Every structure is written in structure tokens, then in C-alpha cells.
Structure 1
């Protein structure tokens, strides 16, 4: 029996209060592809400035697809139903007995009674593999109400948190929770996606998870370790025009990789997709002196591969996607460097495989296909995510590599 993570995202630090929760139930549904009979949840207040008090929390899963009957149990910490997470704290819940079946969504409902200002959360734009609703007015965790679909005063994340509505394209957020793991006797392979916003937005991650979960029920889990705006070599760029000044983009990939990928467990596969922000931000922020050298970026790829291999993981490099667009500043040196780095990625023998996203998403060398991005030429949309997932499974040859028979 081993603990295997069925869902995990990074809690990001906005550097500013994004909104508050008071007398509201946070209800989040998650895809699950692991079978087991014990479960635990990781609670987090890593970047918070106030204690987070969850008056009551329950976790549930449907008994069958044909009815609205649920298995459910309380989540507790030290046998207490009220969970207090102090600023900087991260810890697991008590182990809960619950029959967990692959292919059925998990639902966690958490009631925030006392007002708390929120400075960090997990977030997704795809809203496929997980999705959050906020139900105001009282505690909706007790009894069957924790899964009620018609509760009054249901709101989306962007309606609760002004920062999300204004600066994050109406992303979904999840407060206080960053991981769900299941105790299982099955052989489950873990795939960790590590990257920037292209990974973090989850269109690619969710498309890949859907394809793999359909192909390998109960055998694989896809974890997302992306951070929007993240760079390979340097920490978050200072952006004076937004609240938090861009702090949300986090530490450089070269600094955060080992902790973020290996803190909870060792994945069999790591998919690395980084570098575009190192090439674009110097132009977007009019700071050309910060444009890195090609050799430094290549050295970072090599260093991350060395860390992955030290832990026994296979690591796959991804070519940097096209980013030229009429709404973006011209990046001539950055574009040249992208071409040179991608050619190195295609031909190097350090990684265990390569996903050539640059080729499969491009309408010509420098531009992404119009139908594959959200309108900025940089971030893949749902259709773009599907193309990337297909690249992983078929062009990249992963389907044979993950064979669990």
C-alpha cells in the first residue's frame, strides 16, 4: 500500500489581498483516477497573513453515476472538525476512511465562518479537472447539503475575488487546499507537469489527463506544478502596473524545481515546459539587459534533468511554443534564441524524450495557429491543449512508455 497523489496544484503568492471569505462554503470538484479506501488532504496557508479557520470540511464521492447518493466523511486534523491553518503552515489532514473509485469525481466542501482575507490560492483557467463554487449564507457542508447542486447564492471565483476578475481572466481558485492523496495497492504512475502559465492554465494539463485517464483507469495521475509568468533563470519580474507587482510568478524554475516536484513523492515522469518568459519579458517590460544568454538557458535544462535523474524520474523536454503576435512587442533576439534552443532540445540526448510543441502548434515558424490560442498568440486554448496532449501521447511516444500492463 502506498500513498499516491491524485490531485495537486501549487498555492501561489499574489503579494496582495485578492478578496475575503466570510460565512461561505467553498465547494470544489476534482477528477480522480486512483482506487483506494483511505484518503488525506493537504491544507495550506503558506503565503497567508492571517489564520485560516475552516469551521467544517467534508469530502465525498458519488456511489454510482446513475444516482445522487454519495459516500462522504468529515475531514479532521488531530480529530478536530474545526481546522485552523496558521500563516506559513502546510499539513495533512487525519487519514479518512472513504471508498475511492477511479473515474468518479471527488468533492470537498469547506465552510469559512469567520472573515479572512485571502492572499494566496491554487488556480486554474481550464476548470475541467477541478472547479470551485462559492455558496454564501451558511454552512452547506452538513448532511447531503455538501453536494447540493441548487443551493442559493452560488458564485464563481471571479465574483468573490475582485483580483481574479480584473487580472486573471476569470480563473477558478481554491483556498486552503493544495493536494489530495489516496492510499492504494494499485501500481499508479505519476506524471508531473512543470512549467509556466501554459502548464498552469491547465488546458494542456486537463486534456492530457482526460486522455490518459480514459486509456489507463486507475493507473496514472497527472499533477500540475505550473506557475503563470514563471521563468527558468530568474525570479518573478517586477510589474508595477498590477497589484502585487507580479510577485505571483514565483521563484525561478531552477530554484523551485526540486522542492515543487519532489516534496510529496517521486513521479515516474516529469514534463518540463519553461523558457518562453525568459525570452519575452525583457521586451514586454522594456528591460533588454535581462535577456539571458542561450548557453545559460541550456545549462538550466541540463541541471533540471540532472535533478530528475538523481531522483529516478524520467524527464521530457518540450520545445518553446511560438509567441509572435500583432499585440506583442517585437522580440527579434528572443525569437532567434527560441529557434536555437528548440533545435538543441530536438537533438540533445540528456532528456528521456522530447515533445515538439513548437512544431505541432505553429501555423508557420513564428506564429501559433489562430484556432489554438486564447487570442494573444502565446497561451493555448482548449483546442491548443488537445493538440499538445496528442503530441505527448503520440508524437512524443509516451503512450508506450507509460504502459502499465
Structure 2
């Protein structure tokens, strides 16, 4: 006997599967982990061709476990491993993923009942070519929005960890000797000798965690420097992109947010001699934004580092001009729209409160660039971060001599006059949410 529901169109419509897509739920921008080898006298060691010798950390028979915070949830997941900066093949012998156990004091602890082995093209191990990336096969795993997942990687043979993201806001990374990928926690094990400084907390190789989500989910990439990366935030959930993700989830908006900020990065110029600070925003826009799965929107916040030490017209690191920044932002807008992405431009936040950064000339460039951002019609929206964090501050001597007093970041919303604190990031994340989702929320505390 047929069920009555089978005869009713309304019932059959409700049972249709919802269209899905892969979207990046967490991700970070990878930088080079190579350093120049120095002799005891401090001079660079040269290779057989007379070039400075550079090396990345080499590991063997080591487990690397890393905890990251998702934005969107789903029922199937996969990971992305990067050897973009590698100069030789990288073999990962085993990989696993599990929900975090929810222990704030031990981010290595996993929900062992839901631990999953990962494969790559049906194989347990994967060798990633220099300059390449590997995506794992999807696994069934229910993960909640704003939850943590823990990824464990084992390297049986020699492996160079050439890719990393330098700045983390918690003790996210554990490295121990041997294959410990299935252990519930690594917190009580001695750290591996090959990576003795993991409490500096870099993320190695892990470039993204994707979830399968409803096709209407917006994929948002926050693209910028240390202010996007979250410098001075007290926890990963306190950066402005994390605040944006939390507000989207709290208000029922289907969205995933990836933080592609790199501390000390510039939009227009590579960080010569400082590989951990990343290639220029112009160079990495395709890799870190356009190529992310499911991306629909990008928020760009660059400029402070360029204004401080970018390359000037004579080729010296005295600060980029407003014209240089404008030309670069035009390029990003063009590329974003060519790939059918919405692009939102953030205004450069004030830095008059930091004596080592402020000068009348730099402030003039900031004001000119911000005014262009506000007036230019080529963006899908403008997020006036500068206005959101401006307020009363104690000016250093040079700024105090100016009349009128230059705009500064509010003392209540900054740690040192350049980077916001948790309160400042909350104001920025709330404003970003309002612009992207046409809302009118107020932050818990403003900056004025």
C-alpha cells in the first residue's frame, strides 16, 4: 500500500536533496618557511654555486597535530595540504581528522569516537610535488558551525615543512616523535626534537578545511595584513573575520569565512628578506582568494604596511604612494569581477597613535587612499574600518603638534596605536557583517 505522502507533490518536494557545494570553512595563507643558513660568524653559508644556502625544517618519523576553528558546518569534510613553497617532493604518510574534544587547555585532544582516516585518491599516503597542493578524499563527518577540528599528519620518511602560516592566537600546534595520529591527546608527550619551537605556534602545510554545504552558502575571504590576521587578539575567535563568521551564524546567514591575512604583508610589494611575511597581495590574490572552493565574496584590507615602508618612486622603502595603492586595488577589483566575485574594500585604519609609524606625509597618503576607496564606484561595497575604530587617543609628540589633531585609533580599541584589541576587532567584524548582509547591528562596545 502506497503512503499517502507519496501521492502529494508537497510531500515529495520536501524530500528532495538540497543542492550542495564545497566551500572553504577554514583556511590560512601559506608563507615560506625557508631561512638562510648562517655560519658561526653570522655570514651566510654558500652552496656549490656561490648562492646563499636556504633550508626549511626537516622532520622524520614525526606526528604533527593542528587544531583549527571552522566557520561553516557540514556533514562531509576534506583538507588541503600545501607544498607551494617546497623545493622537493613532500610525502605525508598518514592523515586523520576529528572534531576537537572541546578542552580549551588542550587543543590537541580529539573526539576519538569520530576520528576519521583520510585518503588521497584512495591511498593512505600522498606525495606532493614542489609548488603543488593536495586535496584529500571527502569523508563523512558531521561538524558544527564555529567548532574546532583537529588534523593529524604523520611523516615516516624525511620531509621538509616548507609551507607555514606564522602567527597563531592559541597553542594550536603539537609535534611529537613517532606515529601518534590515533592518540586522544598529545599534551603529555614530550615535543619532538625536530620542531622544538612549536609553542611559537605556526600552522604547517594545512592550507584549508572544506565542508560540503548548501549551494547558497556564501564563501567570504578576508584578505589583508596583520589587522586581518588578528594581531593582538586574545584568541582565534576574536579577530574581525572570526567575529564576522560568528555573527553570520548567530543570525542564521549561510556563510563561511576564511582568514587570508598575513602579518607584515603588503599589497604592492614582496617582503624582501622576510619570507614569513608573505608575497605581495597582488601576487597571492589568485591562490589565496580566487582559488578557494566556493568563494563568492572577498573583503580587502591592505595599506598600512605599504604606507609605512612600501617602495617609493625612487625604489626606496620609504612608503608607497596613494597612486600605487589605488592602481593595485583597481587590479584586484578587475580580477575579482572577472571571476564573478563580489569585492568589498576596507579603509585603512588610523596609526597616528604610534610614534614610529606616524608622519604627516604618511597620514596624507592614508587619507587620500581612503577617500578614493569611499568614492570609487568599482567595488561592491565599502567597509569603513577607519571610522569604526577612530576615537580619543593620546597622541605622540609629532602628532600632538598638528592642528587639527590627526585621526587616531581610539585608546579603548587598540593595544599600541596600530593594531586593534578585542574591542576594536568586534567593532570591525560587526561593521563588516552589516555591509555584507545589509544589517544594522551594534557592537557590544563601540570605539567612541
What TM-score comes out, normalization by structure 1 length?
0.80
C-alpha separation between the residues in 2 aligned to 1:116 and 1:289? 36
Match of 1:227 in 2: 262
Is 1:199 the counterpart of 2:218? The answer is: no
Worse-matched range after superposition: 365-374 or 265-274: 365-374
Q: 1:102-132: CA deviations, max 9, x gaps?
A: 34422211223445443321244334xxx62
Q: 1:342-383: CA deviations, max 9, x gaps?
A: 1222233222222111122123544222343343x2222333
CA-based RMSD of the aligned residues comes to 3.3
Match of 1:241 in 2: none
C-alpha separation between the residues in 1 aligned to 2:203 and 2:350? 31
Q: Equivalent of 2:140, from 87, 97, 109?
A: 97
Alignment of 1:92-241 (within 5 A): 92-127=135-170, 132-142=172-182, 145=183, 147-148=184-185, 150-153=187-190, 160=195, 162=197, 170=200, 172-185=201-214, 187-201=216-230, 203-216=239-252, 219-236=254-271, 238=272
C-alpha separation between the residues in 1 aligned to 2:307 and 2:362? 5
Q: Secondary structure at the match of 1:70?
A: helix
Q: Cα–Cα, structure 1 residues 116 and 69, in superposed 2: closer, same or farther, change >3 Å?
A: closer
C-alpha separation between the residues in 2 aligned to 1:266 and 1:149? 33
1:161 to partner: Cα distance = 5.5
1:135 to partner: Cα distance = 4.3
Q: 1:197-216: CA deviations, max 9, x gaps?
A: 21123622222223323333
Q: Equivalent of 1:52, from 69, 84, 90?
A: 90
Is 1:391 the counterpart of 2:391? The answer is: no
Q: Secondary structure at the match of 2:140?
A: strand
Listed as ranges, the gaps of 5+ residues in structure 2 are 1-19, 36-54, 104-109, 231-235, 393-405, 441-448
Preserved CA contact (<8 Å) 1:47 1:119: yes
1:22 to partner: Cα distance = 4.1
Preserved CA contact (<8 Å) 1:20 1:118: yes
Match of 2:276 in 1: 248
C-alpha separation between the residues in 1 aligned to 2:263 and 2:101? 36
1:178 to partner: Cα distance = 0.7
Preserved CA contact (<8 Å) 1:77 1:83: yes
Listed as ranges, the gaps of 5+ residues in structure 1 are 239-244
Preserved CA contact (<8 Å) 1:32 1:104: yes
Aligned pair count reads: 376
1:80 to partner: Cα distance = 2.4
Preserved CA contact (<8 Å) 2:32 2:162: yes
1:264 to partner: Cα distance = 3.1
Match of 2:419 in 1: 379
Match of 1:242 in 2: none
1:335 to partner: Cα distance = 0.9
Q: Secondary structure at the match of 1:153?
A: coil
Q: Secondary structure at the match of 1:351?
A: coil
Is 1:8 the counterpart of 2:8? The answer is: no
Alignment of 1:282-297 (within 5 A): 282=310, 291-297=319-325
C-alpha separation between the residues in 1 aligned to 2:196 and 2:112? 32
C-alpha separation between the residues in 1 aligned to 2:427 and 2:276? 28
Q: Equivalent of 1:341, from 369, 390, 396?
A: 369
Q: Cα–Cα, structure 1 residues 102 and 70, in superposed 2: closer, same or farther, change >3 Å?
A: farther
Preserved CA contact (<8 Å) 1:135 1:151: no
Q: Secondary structure at the match of 2:202?
A: strand
Match of 2:81 in 1: 43
C-alpha separation between the residues in 1 aligned to 2:311 and 2:333? 28
C-alpha separation between the residues in 2 aligned to 1:358 and 1:53? 45
Q: Cα–Cα, structure 1 residues 358 and 161, in superposed 2: closer, same or farther, change >3 Å?
A: farther
Q: 1:231-260: CA deviations, max 9, x gaps?
A: 222222x3xxxxxx2133333323332343
C-alpha separation between the residues in 1 aligned to 2:214 and 2:345? 31
Preserved CA contact (<8 Å) 2:83 2:162: no
Q: Secondary structure at the match of 1:338?
A: helix
C-alpha separation between the residues in 2 aligned to 1:52 and 1:151? 28
Q: Secondary structure at the match of 2:409?
A: coil
Q: 1:44-95: CA deviations, max 9, x gaps?
A: 1111234433332111136999x95632221112322233334322121223
